[in-house]
Every structure is written in C-alpha cells, then in structure tokens.
Amino acid sequence: MEKLNLSPGKKRVLKFSTFLVILVISLSPAISFLSASYFIKERKVSKLLISYPEVFNNISSPNLKNLDIQVESLLSSLKNRETQLRMANNEIKKYIIEAYKSTYFLRYFFSYVSNSENSYFLTNTIYDGERFYLDFYEYGVETRISTSTIYKDLARFYSDVLVSLLEERNFLGNIKYFHYVWEGKK
Amino acid sequence: MILIPRKAGVLISLLALILSLALSFVYFSKETYVYLSKLEQKFSQVRQIYRNISQLEQEGKQLEKIRASVYAIQGAYAKDGIEPERLKERLEEFLSGKILLTDYIIITSSVSEPIHFKKVPITYTLIIRGTE
C-alpha cells in the first residue's frame, strides 16, 4: 500500500498534562526505591537494637531521628565510666605494688634460701622506704645463687639493682662461703 | 494549550527517570548503607566498652580484696636481740599471707663475720616501722 503523509512537516507533540503524567511515572521508581530504603533502614535498625541489648536498654526511645545522638551520648558516658574505673584500679594497683615493694626483697630472700640446699647467714638488712640492702653469707660446695635470675626477679620491682658477690673463700674442706650483697631502689 | 515536542518530552522524562534513580541510589548508599554500618560500629563499640567496664569492675573487686589484705603495723621492735629461730618466726608472721606496708626495716645480727660451725651465739636486732 502506498504510505500517505497527510500532514507533511508537522511536528509530533505532547500535551503538557500528558508530559506531566509521563514525568511523574518516570519519577515513581525512584520514589518507591526511597521509601523502600527507609523501610529497610528501619527494619535493620530494629534488628540491630534487638541484637545489642546493651544499647536498647540504655536509650530513651528507639527513634530513628535522634538515635545517633543518643548512641553518641551513651558512648561518651560509658567511656567516662571506663576511664574512671581504670584510674581507680590503677590507683589501687599502685598502692598495692608500693606496699608489696616494701617487703618483697625480704620475702624473695627467704623464699630463695628456703628452697636451696646450702646454708645461709643473714648479717644485715636495711630498708629506709627508698632503698634496700641485704648482706648475707652462703655456705656450700658451690653457690646456689643465680645472679642473673635474682637480678631479673628483683628488677621487676626495683631499680638500680645490684647483686654482688663480695667474697668467696674455702671454709672447711671443700665447703666455701660466699659473701653476697643485694641492693635496690624502689 | 501548552504543547511540548514529543521527542523532547520523552527525553526529559527518560533523563528524569535515570537521574532520579541514580540520586535515590546515592541516597540509599549514603543514608542507609553507610548510616547502618556506622551505627553497627557504634553499637559494637558500646558492647566492647560494656565488656571492658564489666572486666574493670571485676578487677576492681579483686584489687579491693587485695588492698584489704594490706596492713600496717605501728612498729615491731626487738632491740635487745632475739635468737635466729625467733626472728624467723616473727618475720614469717609479718610476711606470710597479708602484705605489710612498712617504710623502715632493720635486721642486724650481733656478729657480722662468717661464723658457720663456730659456737657463737647469734642474736638479731629487729626494727620494723609501719607507714602511718
């Protein structure tokens, strides 16, 4: 059949109202997507709140609008509490360690010598609140005092630790005496 | 009556469709996805701090118990001299179990030479002063 062009050169047009309808239709997927995303957001937040009772029990209302602010303020107050507790515990630790240090060298000496086969004679002990000084003799075929071990153990609590063997002499037969001095500072 | 060329109308509508979808996707990723990940991160931080607080409280209770075991004495003096066995007993009394808080200790033997096997009676001077 022959094609007829009844209006040659005439432009195809849309009425403005039709154009508006098409425009609204083309915007509708985005609007639906936005409402779906809000719905997803709400559901996810609810799920999160259920799985984190620590948060849920400490906020006034699970409102999406100010949830962020509420969680921030909760975090900040918890951090403050954590810092306070840490500081309080550190204070107690410091006090206990200070107290422990005032007799640790003596405890350590007695525990060390009580586990040794050799005999010991303690001649002098001085502790003035800052420094300690221990002077003693050890009797045996060979010394049981491991200078490096003692140094390491005492250095955990004291500074300027000195473990010195002042004298070593034959005493009776093959038995020797070893004159030791332990020193340290709090 | 306002008329719009059909091609232009369709093009504008198509552009509006593509642009609005792209913007809504950006909005979704920024406002929903990023928001949720950040929120979960904060929730997890809250949980972590809660656990830390709980641990610190437990630690605090244990430390309080230890602090309660720290004791100070007014003073222990044996200036006239005590025998080695008695000295050992007294020191065990002071040092076993509880923590003695002191700022002054002196233990001095009456002899300062190596006297093993010699029948020399040894006595000790003991002075312990507690922190006030």
Domain ranges of chain A: 104-185
- Which amino acid belongs to residue B60? G
Which of B52, B68, B84 lies at the terminal end of a domain, its last residue? B68
A119-127 and B70-72 as β-strands: parallel, antiparallel, unpaired?
unpaired
CB of A156 within 8 Å of a chain B CB? The answer is no
For A72, other C-beta atoms within 10 Å of its C-beta total 12
Dist. CA B77–CA A102, nearest whole Å? 17
Residue B33's H or E segment, with its range, is none
CB of B57 within 8 Å of a chain A CB? The answer is yes
> With bands split at pLDDT 50, 70 and 90, how would you rate the model's confidence at B19?
very high
Whether residue B21 sits in one domain with residue B62? yes
Whether residue B48 sits in one domain with residue B98? no
Burial A6-23 (b: 16+ CB within 10 A, else e): eeeeeeebbeeeebeebb
Residue B57 covered by a domain: yes
> With bands split at pLDDT 50, 70 and 90, how would you rate the model's confidence at A88?
very high
Test mutation, A34, A65, A68, A143, chain B, max B CBs within 10 A:
A34
Whether residue B121 sits in one domain with residue B78? yes
Beta-bridged to residue B86, according to DSSP, are none
CB contact under 8 A, B115 and A121: yes
Q: Which domain holds residue B85?
A: 70-130
Residue B2 covered by a domain: no
Mean pLDDT score across all residues of chain A:
88
CB of A131 within 8 Å of a chain B CB? The answer is no
CB of A128 within 8 Å of a chain B CB? The answer is yes
Whether residue B90 sits in one domain with residue B61? no
Dist. CA B114–CA B112, nearest whole Å? 7
Beta strands in A25-130 (DSSP E): 119-127
Dist. CA A116–CA A136, nearest whole Å? 14
Does this complex have an ipTM over 0.90?
no
> With bands split at pLDDT 50, 70 and 90, how would you rate the model's confidence at A8?
low
Whether residue B94 sits in one domain with residue B83? yes
The Cα of A1 is separated from the nearest Cα of chain B by a number of Å equal to 27
Whether residue B74 sits in one domain with residue B45? no
CB contact under 8 A, A44 and B36: yes
The Cα of A23 is separated from the nearest Cα of chain B by a number of Å equal to 5
Whether residue B61 sits in one domain with residue B74? no
Checking if the pLDDT of A172 tops 70, the result is: yes
CB of B115 within 8 Å of a chain A CB? The answer is yes
Checking if the pLDDT of B57 tops 90, the result is: yes
Whether residue B26 sits in one domain with residue B13? yes
Whether residue B98 sits in one domain with residue B57? no
Whether residue B85 sits in one domain with residue B53? no
How far, CA to CA in Å, does A14 sit from each of A68, A167, B16? Answer: 48, 114, 17
Higher pLDDT, B32 or B60: B60
Mean pLDDT score across all residues of chain B:
85
Q: Which residues in chain B are contacts of A169 at CB distance < 8 A?
A: 114
CB–CB of B42/A54 below 8 Å?
Answer: no
Count of domains forming chain B: 2
Whether residue B47 sits in one domain with residue B90? no
> With bands split at pLDDT 50, 70 and 90, how would you rate the model's confidence at B30?
confident
Compute the residue count for chain B.
132
Residue B1 covered by a domain: no
> With bands split at pLDDT 50, 70 and 90, how would you rate the model's confidence at B131?
low
